[in-house]
Amino acid sequence: MSDLRPDPSTFRTRLLAREPMIGTFMKVPASQNTEILGLEGFDFVVLDEEHAPWTRGTLDAALLAARAYGTAGIVRIARPDANSILSVLDDGAIGIMVPHVDTAQKVRDVVSWARYLGGTRGSGASRGGEYGKRGGDNYRISDAITTVICMIEDRHALDEIDEIAAVEGVDALFLGRADLALSLRNAEGSAPGIQEAVERIVEAANRAGKPVAAVVQSMQSDETTWLRGLGITALMVASDIGLLRQAASSALREFNALMRPGE
């Protein structure tokens, strides 16, 4: 691990500055995959509590691994409530990714639960606060580090997208394109297509001065070129499981070409 790598605590600053950063979703509830990606130089990982069997204990271990190997540990929380947000931030998460954000009020609640000063986050001497080492500076330092990313993945969110993006304390919007496309498809009456919806979200973020993040399956794809053209600099590639599948598929093709030519 290079000494020149940015400290994970600078993730929020780098995100807001729109520095190019790479991350991925973590589906396997263990620390080793996070360690490997940190060693390889990934800027951040998102531990996917919403869609994978993470527990408080496995999240704690993986967040420690992220810190140890120099990558920012974010948690996509399963439940957007005060206790869920408090627990992962206390365990040392650099930030939270909140699924299905569709109203400005929901955003205001999330921001309040994630912030000490001007918010309602409970105080505790844990890894998230360097076990009390920061002393009286803990509230200020923690608030400066903690990153709030809101996933836009419901058609109803488009009705309030400018208000959602403008909420103070929202650091970035995330394009939840799979669920958003499904939500648009299920809409009664007319609804925009997914490309138009994505462009509306990015435009609202730009008006509010907020960056946008997205996930792609490959860095060499038309969708990635399109998203980069929209100005997206925080890109996630697949997931730990997806990367394993890609590597396994590549190894199998190479094996067959070498050992079973002509089949």
Q: What is the pLDDT of residues 5-17, one digit of tens each?
A: 899 999 999 999 9
pLDDT score at 234: 98
Q: What is the pLDDT of residues 216-257, one digit of tens each?
A: 999 999 999 999 999 999 999 999 999 999 999 999 999 999
pLDDT score at 189: 78
Which CATH superfamily, name and number, covers 8-259?
Phosphoenolpyruvate-binding domains (3.20.20.60)
Q: What is the pLDDT of residues 60-113, one digit of tens each?
A: 999 999 999 999 999 999 999 999 999 999 999 999 999 999 999 999 999 999
pLDDT score at 1: 42
| Residue 2 predicted with pLDDT over 60 | no
Annotate 89-145 with DSSP letters as a single string. HHTT-SEEEES---SHHHHHHHHHHH-STTS-PPP--SGGGGGGTTGGGHHHHHHHH
Q: Which residues pair with 172 in a beta bridge?
A: 149
Residue with tokens 């994970």: 8
Q: Who wins on pLDDT, 261 or 24?
A: 24
Task: Check 20, 40, 41, 51 and give the catalytic one.
Answer: 51
94 in Cβ contact with 72 (< 8 Å):
yes
| Catalytic residue flag (residue 51) | yes
User: Cβ–Cβ contacts within 10 Å for residue 84, how many?
Assistant: 18
Average pLDDT over residues 135-164: 97
| Residue 32 predicted with pLDDT over 70 | yes
The rounded distance, in Å, linking the Cα atoms of 74 and 83 is: 16
